[in-house]
Amino acid sequence: MNSNTFRMPAAALLAAGAVALLTAPPALATGGTGGGSEGSSGAVVLRTGLDVSLLNKAVNVPLKTTLNEVSAPETAQKTALTVTLDGVDQGQPVSVLQAEVATSKATADKKRAEAEANLAKARVHVPGLPKLSLVEVEKVTSKAVCEAGKKPVATSNVLGTVTALGKKVTLSAGGPTRLEVPGVGVVTLELSGTETTSTTAAAAALKLKVSVNPLKLNVAEVEGEIVLAEAHCTSPAGPAPSPSATPAAVKPDVKQQTGTGTKPAVTQANLAETGAGSVTPYVAGGALLLLGIGGGALVVTRRGKSAQDA
């Protein structure tokens, strides 16, 4: 057995390995994609939480209702809204709200959530006071906007005059306004204002605390709370990072073979767009080197064999 027996397999192995490296598929740079979830929003023109006492407080009937309440995506534009309470006025409907304009709207998608409520020339009634309005307003509005990546915004306004139990009242941002009418009751009115967090916004134009004693229509007492023009929203979740925003792959620490310890300048390339990894140049260079060595060994082997045959 001579050395040629070992050279042939070694040369073939080197050549085959070089070809395998050259034909191997490149590593692809991948990144997660996807959008954020939708936000949410809702609005209501009037919300009540009242307790109505009947028959000298022997029976309590709750009046908890929302009028023109919507959640995204939805719009409501009813202007005459009624509720029915058993035992009050022989079960006839009670007109709780009448207005020239009573609209609520809510929208939401992956970029923005928004809600608004509007009332104009509105009159609010409670059981036992069919002719005297609990409160009358010229215009109240609320709006909440939640946009992805931005601070939520909430606004509310009470415009024009406000009348409670037939009397004009002046509202103050510093605190509630209390109005008492002998033989009828007490109403406390408060500019509810706005509230925001990093992801939510809420606004309500006017809040009323009610305590009236009409002594009519078999109603002994009405107590509770009423809110006018309410809007709220929650911000959509932000979109996931795009592939271009992912961190670049870590490059190998390559040093010159001169003993100086300095690094050669490396040209930065956008390899993620081409699908090549950061080590591709070195793999290709190694493959070419192996191919050259394998080819040289194969030539030397064939020459040695030819000389023996001669």
Average pLDDT over residues 134-146: 96
Q: Is the peptide bond before 73 cis (omega within 30 degrees of 0)?
A: yes
- Whether residue 216 is predicted with pLDDT greater than 70 in this model: the reply is yes
- Whether residue 228 is predicted with pLDDT greater than 60 in this model: the reply is yes
- Whether residue 45 is predicted with pLDDT greater than 50 in this model: the reply is yes
Give me the count of residues in the chain: 310
Contact 80, 98 (CB under 8 A): yes
Residues 203, 206, 210, 215: what is their CA dihedral angle, to the nearest 10 degrees? -130
Residue-level pLDDT at 7: 43
Contact 283, 27 (CB under 8 A): no
Q: How confident is the model at residue 104 (pLDDT cuts 50, 70, 90)?
A: very high
Residues 6+ apart with CB under 8 A from 242: 31, 33
- Rounded to the nearest 10 degrees, the angle between the axes of helix 280-309 and helix 4-23 is 150
- Whether residue 202 is predicted with pLDDT greater than 70 in this model: the reply is yes
Higher-confidence residue of 28 and 208: namely 208
Contact 243, 31 (CB under 8 A): yes
Residue-level pLDDT at 36: 60
Residue-level pLDDT at 274: 36
Query: pLDDT tens-digit profile of 241-265?
Result: 555 544 444 444 444 444 444 444 4
- What is the CA angle 279-281-287, rounded to 5? 105
Residue-level pLDDT at 241: 52
Residue-level pLDDT at 61: 87
Residue 44, SS3 per DSSP? strand
C-alpha distances (whole Å) from 131 to each of 126, 128, 135, 146, 285 are 10, 9, 12, 41, 94
Among the listed residues 256, 131, 233, the one whose alpha carbon sits nearest the alpha carbon of residue 184: 131
User: Tokens 């006018």 appear where?
Assistant: 228
Stretch among 12-21, 33-42, 301-310 having the lowest mean pLDDT: 12-21
Q: What is the spatial distance between Cα 32 and Cα 115, in angstroms, rounded to a whole number?
A: 32
